Amino acid sequence: PVMPQNMPTLEEAHVTVTAPIVNLCNCASVSMAEHTSYGTKMLDNGTLIGTRTFGGFSALVGAEGYTTNYAGHVGVQGVTPVFCYVPMEVAFSLDGHILEGHGVDPDIEVAFDVATWNKGNGPDSQLDRALQFIK
């Protein structure tokens, strides 16, 4: 069943950031980085820049014997032809789309130019676009 989750703001007086907030993401953004990326998208002043995140929202661990975060395993790793694990949770967007296995789509898509970056003289295409957006 889908269970709603509410995250209330602080009851005490606190500072509300009104300046633009930009979060950079790519396919290496996974788990908590995806929760942060989606949270940024939900802010009125938040913008996600980069490429779609990995799609691994569920809290997972690598140990087969520790299945607290899994609904179960299928097969035995390295022994059976098929091995996989099934997470016991799934994340949905506010409009009902499953984010697990898909990831978070950026508001502004900008691919990281690896070839240019590897030459050692930049630029960082995603960071440059974020700075341009903020300015």
How would you write the pLDDT of the chain (135 residues) with one tens digit per residue?
667 777 777 788 888 889 999 999 999 898 889 999 999 999 999 999 999 999 888 765 555 555 555 566 678 878 988 877 677 677 888 888 889 889 999 999 999 888 888 888 778 899 999 999 999
pLDDT of res. 14: 82
pLDDT of res. 103: 93
68: Cα within 13 Å, side-chain hemisphere: 3
State whether residue 77 is helix, strand or coil.
coil
DSSP 8-class letter at 82: -
Q: Say if CB 133 and CB 108 are below 8 A apart.
A: yes
Q: Is 111 exposed, middle or buried (0-12, 13-18, 19+ CB in 10 A)?
A: exposed
Question: Distance between CA atoms of 71 and 52, rounded to whole angstroms?
Answer: 26
pLDDT of res. 62: 54
pLDDT of res. 59: 61
Question: Hey, what are 124's tokens?
Answer: 């960082």
pTM score:
0.74
Q: How far is CA 3 from the centre of its chain?
A: 20
- The sign one gets for the Cα dihedral 65, 98, 101, 47 is negative
Distance from the first to the final alpha carbon of the chain: 44
Parallel, antiparallel or unpaired: strands 21-25 and 108-109: unpaired
pLDDT of res. 49: 97
Question: Distance between CA atoms of 78 and 76, rounded to whole angstroms?
Answer: 6
